[in-house]
Structure 1
C-alpha cells in the first residue's frame, strides 16, 4: 500500500510535494510507538523530530493543489510508518535482511500484479523502462530496504525514521548536480534544519552509548 499510494499520488500532485508529505512518516512512527507501545521521546528526540518535520516541509513546492493527491501521499507515509513500527516490535528485526527483502519484494510483486491486472493497468514498457526499473529496484528494494532494516535493528524505529529525513536533502543535491534544478533559500533552510536535527540526534545517541 505504501508503494501504490505514493506512486498514485504522483498523478495528482508534483513528485516533490508527494515525497515531502510521505516524509511526514517519522511523526507517524513516533505517534504509533507512543499510542501502541507507550514509548516516549525525550526532549532531545522531540526537538529533533520537530526540526526535521519543519525542515522537510521547507521542500514543499506549490504544485500540491489536489487534496486527494495529498491524502494519498500522507496515507503512504502512515502505511510506511506502520511497516517500520511492526518491524521494530516483531521478530522480523532479527531476521536476515536479505531473506526478509526477498519475501517483501515477492509479496509486493504478486499483490501489485493482481491489483494492476484487475484495474486494467498492465502494459508493456520499452526496453529503457525495464532497465531504469531494474536500477530503481536495486537502489531501493535491495540496498535501501536492507540498510533500513539494519538501522531499525541497531537504533529502533523512531530514531531510524528521524535520521531517514536526510533523504530529501539527497534528492535536492542530486537535482542540483545532475538535473540543473535551482536551490532556493527556503530549501537551504530546510537542509540546515534537517542536518541540525540529525547532528543533535547522533550526538545524543553517542553520549548515551558512552554512559551506558
Structure 2
C-alpha cells in the first residue's frame, strides 16, 4: 500500500532522533563477527524474536589461540587454574606473557597485563583469584552470552520505523539500569541493511 512506501516527515524525525540516541551508545555496539553461536537452535522464543546461546570474544582472542601450540591448547584452562591458585608461579606467568602479541592485539595484551598484575598480588583472597581466573578464561576463550535476535520487519517502511524506535528505546533503557538484581546489559548489534537487531546479555 502507498502509505507503507512513503515515510511521513514526523516518522522520519522520530527515526532520526532514535538514530542519534543509538549513535550515542556506540560503546555498546558489538561486531557481529565477535559472536559465535555454535548451536543455532533457539533456547527461547517470544515477542519479536528468539534467544540463542553464543560466545563473545575480544579482538585478538582467536589470534592468541593460533599462537598456542595445538598440543597445549586443551591444557591451557588447567594451566591457568593452577597458575591463579599458586602464588609461586610468577615464572610461568612471564612465559605465558611472551605468547601474547602486541601491535594489532594491543587491547588484549593490555587486558592480560592488568590481570597479570592482579594475579601477582600477595594479599589476593580466594574470591579475587576466582574472579581473575574468570577474566583469563574470558580473555582466551570468550564469554558465554545470551543473544536475543529480533525480527526486523524491513519490508514494511512504517512497521520498520516503529520497530527501530522501539529497539532503540529498549537498548537505551537497559543501558541506563544498574542494580545487583538486574541482568547487566553487554551490548547490541544493529545493521539496517541486513536486518540485524540483536541484544546481548550475560
TM-score by length of 2: 0.28
Rg: which structure is higher?
A: 2
Higher helix share: 1
